[in-house]
Amino acid sequence: MQRKQFIFTGLMVSLLSITGVTNAMNIVGTYQCTGNDPTVTPSAFTQKMIITKQGNAYPMIEANSGSITAYKQFGVLTGNTLSIAYQSTTDAKDFGVQVYVVSHNGKQLKGPFVYYNNFDKEGMETCDKISDSISLK
């Protein structure tokens, strides 16, 4: 009986770590981001992004520069992968998905993104944490 309980406990711990429930990585904070968006001209952009945490989800908001539109986002962290969905704050038909690889214990996010209406044009973004506090200023 004790062996079965040990095996069950081991399986549960493994499952929880796979689903990110036991993920202790702190990604909450303010990030400085740079990237390339092939759907706009000029394609290079910089922006600040804040990430908060509500339950198991990570709501995010960006303050963009240049011709890039601001987006509301939310994500789910599983291991070192942050998968997000985003939508323009000004055009509900402008939305997409992004997958970040989280590295340096939550200090850097890097990954591709794609818009719903431009599947063939993949952008790339790298975000470096500049503060554990939350501020778009």
Residue 1 Cα distances to 7, 8, 14, angstroms? 10, 11, 20
Domain chopping of the chain, boundaries: 25-131
The third-level CATH classification (topology) of the domain covering 25-131 is: Lipocalin (2.40.128)
- The predicted pLDDT at position 97 comes to 96
pTM for this predicted structure: 0.77
What percent of the chain shows pLDDT beyond 90? 54
Consecutive H or E run containing 58: strand 57-64
Lowest mean pLDDT among 12-21, 48-57, 64-73, 77-86: 12-21
Lowest mean pLDDT among 13-27, 35-49, 50-64, 119-133: 13-27
